[in-house]
Structure 1
């Protein structure tokens, strides 16, 4: 060991360690600490990386076995800072693991509640995209048969500009049915875990509750059970938390029980945000936080969140008066602008149908200026939404800005049929004029019809 000891850290700067793969890494400095250990920046053959080093009392055989399983999977999903290699040294009383560094463009979700200037670029579209990417990340994890067990706002980071996400602290994830020695973060835990019901263990079903709490925080800036009852608590100790989140949880917008409604003047943010949330998302929150509280099988699945969030993202429209983005109900009427309270005019919409036979997937995309079609719009059941894979873009006419068209950004030929029956070809780079009744063939059996709002 050499160098100067880092502030309050277990490892000194300059410490050289060796991974289980035989690669030497050097500690550069302390990044931060948490409930399980400390995270350091290290330098190795792969360049700068992060090292999580456990507190000695937590560095037991069970955690070592969990890490071995995770490292052996070598999962390359770019939405997860996955453990790459275990790091240990006989002269030290603990061990840890190496993972990729988190890029600086990613911020923690509590920054939204703090109104941190670093996330001021967040918009309704980027927040819905963040929610969608988060849901798809956990859907991918669960599809591997892995439960995360500690979904919370401390483990998901987001880019406020485009909604990209990174899931961190993945050393808590274990194969469904195995023990990890962790139940979660109290105010995100499923009620049966908070109550310590006999036989209740963390798993994918409890993850679904935690995921819904995370989504509510992300979109509402509030906890789903923190209403009037929370304000009456004088000391938020463990006993009070167990009652609020476990033994007597009550959703602030339970349609039948109103005792925990948010209090005007004290909890105005959630009142305002719930008021502008599209009904398709409200209904999912109501179901998971009423029926799903005591019946885990009634909790909203990741695929349901994915489909609803994707549809809401496609229905976001700008206010013609103040320019702010508004979430509209997919296929529904015009919302009132959340900012200026004026009615929002709805543009034309494109009814898309993808796939074959009677099970074709149908989507509506609002054709605002600058709106885009993506590769996932062309798929019957896309594995992942990729908002860099643009295949079409709503653009303005070069000499008549009020006239909009759909520009072909794909590599294939489109075919267009006007309402009067005239047929045209739309090669890559060319634009199809948008008028009600226009029918488009976009390739691979994907069809679209332009409709009035």
Structure 2
């Protein structure tokens, strides 16, 4: 078929450049070029009345009535969460043997998670802070999806993209998501699937509980650069075929740091990355990984929920401290002892700590923020149970005194004045743009019931 017409063109490049198609809403779209292909079909960049977007076009053998029904449900839901490239409209042509859907186009500054394992230069800007932020944003994205009663069913490193600079995320391939309890015709990606799905247990089906296992695997990959079940047992496998994977991830899964089972520990000299990263991980995160990959392997109800991951990751992000010897960022246990720097081995000097409480209920929410220079207090810190962490909404920033080295203050970046009470009992107002000196014992009233006390290390 010539360019500029509707066309099918074999297994790859099914649509020709310049092909004109029509959405179910009657909008005309024009195919520009092929972006890539996967197990379900191909993705094209297309021109639409709303601008440049992406079109996922299914391989004909997968374009069945069930997939059409799923797409209709997703499009009708019209979910506007900006963390998801949600299906917007279906595209089908009578002259073609398949169909597809239009979604937003992924910006170039979002990269896939395997780029971390490849040490791709494109993600060299990633830091411990941006990776923890990526993990937190990923958890909150799936929490939002699950709260709608929708299971994703194929959480894997191929479906989540991240910005290595600030940790923003985009979830793609959302046509796998269906309402909990409904069939989607997909069980997931083998090494991310819950063991009961890998084994094919009677009654086992993809859903929110199996998503929790897949999410934990994804988080482990993100923070550890390794699979949680790939230890000594994986190195004994000569051919990683389907049978071997089923044993490793379903029949006999063993967490590499299972406290009671040591036969699958990482092997020094062969799996050194995960040995080092696990040693640098704060205990609060180690405990969550250990629970979900020991008790949670056998009992889906024991898997760590998104809210637990959210709270722990948020607390760890607030506790990140730089090493004054080499300048590297270190993940610290919230309100815990000083860690040893993962890079140079020096014990990290802990800065002052801001003990912040907020909320108006009988059980107020408490958070601890390490007051490194450049650390920020965000609007979500002042909310008892924030729906979403927003790291673009800073209300306070730790800044250096312009004339006294080593002296820090908290600059008011909010639109309202703060009330500050010093340890000697004196009070002062700190309007927007002004700075409160940070000394132990200082109390800051930040508005709407939120207050904070500066504590010793």
Q: TM-score, normalised by structure 2?
A: 0.98
The number of residue pairs the alignment matches comes to 453
Counterpart of 1:308 in structure 2 is 312
Pairing partner for 2:366 from 362, 369, 383? 362
Equivalent positions of 1:172-183 (< 5 A) are 172-183=176-187
5+ residue gaps, structure 1: none
Equivalent positions of 1:53-452 (< 5 A) are 53-452=57-456
Q: Deviations over 1:101-145 (max 9, x none)?
A: 000000000000000000000000000000000000000000000
SS of 1:398 mapped into structure 2: coil
SS of 1:359 mapped into structure 2: coil
Answer yes or no: is the 8 Å Cα contact 1:225–1:252 preserved in 2: yes
Shift of 1:358: 2.7
Separation (CA, whole Å) in 2 of partners of 1:375 and 1:419 = 26
Shift of 1:36: 0.2
Answer yes or no: is the 8 Å Cα contact 1:13–1:27 preserved in 2: yes
Q: TM-score, normalised by structure 1?
A: 0.99
SS of 2:32 mapped into structure 1: strand
Answer yes or no: is the 8 Å Cα contact 1:82–1:170 preserved in 2: yes
Separation (CA, whole Å) in 1 of partners of 2:199 and 2:178 = 22
Separation (CA, whole Å) in 1 of partners of 2:362 and 2:325 = 41
SS of 1:181 mapped into structure 2: coil
Separation (CA, whole Å) in 1 of partners of 2:48 and 2:339 = 53
SS of 2:218 mapped into structure 1: helix
Shift of 1:2: 4.3
Separation (CA, whole Å) in 2 of partners of 1:329 and 1:414 = 29
SS of 1:50 mapped into structure 2: strand
Separation (CA, whole Å) in 2 of partners of 1:181 and 1:18 = 27
Pairing partner for 1:15 from 19, 35, 39? 19
Answer yes or no: is the 8 Å Cα contact 1:414–1:426 preserved in 2: yes
Q: Deviations over 1:7-33 (max 9, x none)?
A: 930011111000000000000100000
Separation (CA, whole Å) in 1 of partners of 2:27 and 2:359 = 48
Counterpart of 1:32 in structure 2 is 36
Shift of 1:400: 1.2
RMSD over aligned CA atoms reads 1.0
Shift of 1:402: 1.2
Separation (CA, whole Å) in 1 of partners of 2:16 and 2:422 = 71
Answer yes or no: is the 8 Å Cα contact 1:150–1:172 preserved in 2: yes
Separation (CA, whole Å) in 2 of partners of 1:139 and 1:3 = 44
Separation (CA, whole Å) in 2 of partners of 1:375 and 1:417 = 21
Separation (CA, whole Å) in 2 of partners of 1:347 and 1:379 = 24
Answer yes or no: is the 8 Å Cα contact 1:108–1:156 preserved in 2: yes
Q: Deviations over 1:234-272 (max 9, x none)?
A: 111111100000010000000010000000000000000
Separation (CA, whole Å) in 1 of partners of 2:54 and 2:2 = 19
Poorly superposed stretches of 4+, deviation over 4 Å: 4-7
Separation (CA, whole Å) in 1 of partners of 2:255 and 2:154 = 21
Separation (CA, whole Å) in 1 of partners of 2:301 and 2:364 = 27
Shift of 1:401: 3.0
Answer yes or no: is the 8 Å Cα contact 1:2–1:13 preserved in 2: no
Q: Deviations over 1:14-55 (max 9, x none)?
A: 110000000000001000000000000100101111000000
Separation (CA, whole Å) in 1 of partners of 2:313 and 2:106 = 26
Separation (CA, whole Å) in 1 of partners of 2:224 and 2:45 = 34
